[in-house]
Amino acid sequence: MDGQPKELRSSRWFVKDDLRSFGHRSRLKGMGFDDADYLGKPIVAILNTWSDLNTCHSHFKTRVDEIKRGVLQMGGFPVEIPVVSLGEMLMKPTTMLYRNLLAMETEEVLRCHPVDAAVLMGGCDKTVPAMIMGAISANIPFVFFPAGPMLKARWKDQTLGSGTDAWKYWAERCAGNLCDGDWKDIENCIARSAGTCMTMGTASTMACIAETLGVTLPNASCIPAVVSEHSRLAVATGRKAVQLATSQMAPLSFLTREHFENALIAQLTLSGSTNAIVHMIAMAGRAGIRLTLDDYDRISREIPVLADLRPSGRFLMEDFYNAGGLSGLLNRLRDKLHLGALTINDRTLGEQIESGAVLDDNIIRTRENPLWPEGGTCVLRGNLAPNGCVIKTVASDPRLHKHKGRAVVFRSYGDLKARINSPDLETVLI
C-alpha cells in the first residue's frame, strides 16, 4: 500500500474521451443523473435477491433504500441490480439446483458492469453461498448483508421454531393428535415476520459463517430481520461498501485457509446445518482453498457445541442475539480460532470479537458445560457412503448412534413420500 488513492475500476467506463465512454455517460444523463452524481465516485452495486415469492426477503425493498442511504452518506453512487431470488419455501424441486446459477450471475453481473464494490443482499439458504462464491470469483470488494432471522413464534404456551416444529407437529397430525383448528393456528403463526428461519438452520448457519469469514459488519449475522438495528445495519453496510471500494480490498487479497477454518469452527460450535459443508467447500474452492470432509472430521473432534439452539438445543436466533450472538460465542473459543484472520472491518477476527460478551450461559454455554463436548458433527464412511457422509450426533437420538438393520431404498422423493409412513414398509423392499 503506497497510500496513494488508486484509480477506480469504474473509471474505465466513464473517464476517457472516446465514443464508448461518451455513450456510457450520455445514457446515465438520460436516466436523470448528472456528472455530480457519479463521476469520480465509487460505484456500489447492490445485488438484491428480493422477489414477491421469496418470503424470507420481503423486507429487502425497504432495506435496499437504507443501504443506498449509507452509500450516499459516504459519497458513493449506489446502483441496485436485481439477481435471481432463491426462496426455499416456494421453489421446486429444490433451490440447490439454482445455487450455481446465482453464483454465476453474481460473478458475471459484477464483472461486466462499472462496479467498484458490491453489497450482496442475501439470507435464505442458498443465496448466501451463491453470492459469496460469485463475488470471490469476480474478486471485487464486497460486503455481505444478511436478511436476519424471523422473530420467535408463539402458539398457545409453546415457542415455535421454523422447520423443526413444522416437522414435529406434522408428525403429531399424522398420528391423529392435532385437530384441524390447531393445525391451522400453527400455520397462521409459525412464520411470524419477514426474515429467514429462526432456528440454526442453513440460513442462520451461513450468515454466521459469512460473519466469521469477515465479510459482513460485526454482529450482522444474528440481528432479527424486523428490528431497528437491522435498518441501521443496512445503512452502515452501505457506508462500508464505499470504504471497501476506496481501499479496493478485494476478497482474494485477504481470504486464506485460516478464514475458512475459522468459519468451520463457528459452524461446529453452533451445531450448524450440515448443508453448510457443501457450501463451505464450494466457497473455499472459489478462493483456491481445498477444504475436505477430513478437515471437518479433524476439527470437529476438538470443538465443543456451545450454542444451545434448535434443532440441536432449545433456543432460537432471537434468544441467541440477545445472549450476545456470534461475537460472544466465538470469544469463548479464542484459543481454537486463527485470531489474526483479517476482516473487511479494518481489524482481525480476534480484535472484532474481543468485546463479545455472553449475557446468558444457558443459551451460549460455557466451555465447562457445553451442549456437546466434541464431535457434534461427525464424518462417517462405509459401504452405504464410500465417499463419506455427515451426521449431526448432537441432534440425533443416542439410540441411533449404533444401529444394525435393513436399508430401504427409495426410487425418488415421491416414492419415499408415498411409502415412508406405510406400516408394511419393511415388507415392500425392492
| Binding residues vs ligand FES (CB under 6 A) | 56, 88-89, 124-125, 196-197, 201, 203
Q: Please report how close the Cβ of residue 280 comes to ligand FES at its closest, in angstroms.
A: 17
Q: Please report how close the Cβ of residue 38 comes to ligand FES at its closest, in angstroms.
A: 34
Written as one string, the DSSP assignment of 71-85 is HHHTT-EEEEEE---
Q: Please report how close the Cβ of residue 318 comes to ligand FES at its closest, in angstroms.
A: 15
Q: Which is nearer to ligand FES, 21 or 55 (CB)?
A: 55
Q: Please report how close the Cβ of residue 429 comes to ligand FES at its closest, in angstroms.
A: 34
Q: Residue 283 in 3-state DSSP? A: helix
Nine-digit cell string for 265: 469452527
Distance between CA atoms of 217 and 197, rounded to whole angstroms?
21
Q: Which is nearer to ligand FES, 49 or 393 (CB)?
A: 49
Distances (CA, A) of 408 to 117, 379, 393: 50, 21, 22
Q: Which is nearer to ligand FES, 89 or 359 (CB)?
A: 89
Q: Please report how close the Cβ of residue 211 comes to ligand FES at its closest, in angstroms.
A: 16
Q: Please report how close the Cβ of residue 108 comes to ligand FES at its closest, in angstroms.
A: 25
Q: Which is nearer to ligand FES, 201 or 214 (CB)?
A: 201
Q: Which is nearer to ligand FES, 197 or 244 (CB)?
A: 197
Q: Please report how close the Cβ of residue 379 comes to ligand FES at its closest, in angstroms.
A: 25
Distances (CA, A) of 80 to 49, 61, 131, 150: 10, 11, 15, 24
Distance between CA atoms of 417 and 411, rounded to whole angstroms?
11
Check residue 223 and give left, alpha or beta (phi > 0: left; psi -120 to 50: alpha). beta
Q: Which is nearer to ligand FES, 89 or 171 (CB)?
A: 89
Q: How many C-alpha atoms does 331 have within 13 Å on its Cβ side?
A: 18
Distances (CA, A) of 215 to 65, 142, 225, 299, 428: 21, 7, 18, 22, 50
Per-state percent for the chain, helix, strand, coil, to nearest 5: 45, 10, 40
Q: Which is nearer to ligand FES, 128 or 241 (CB)?
A: 128
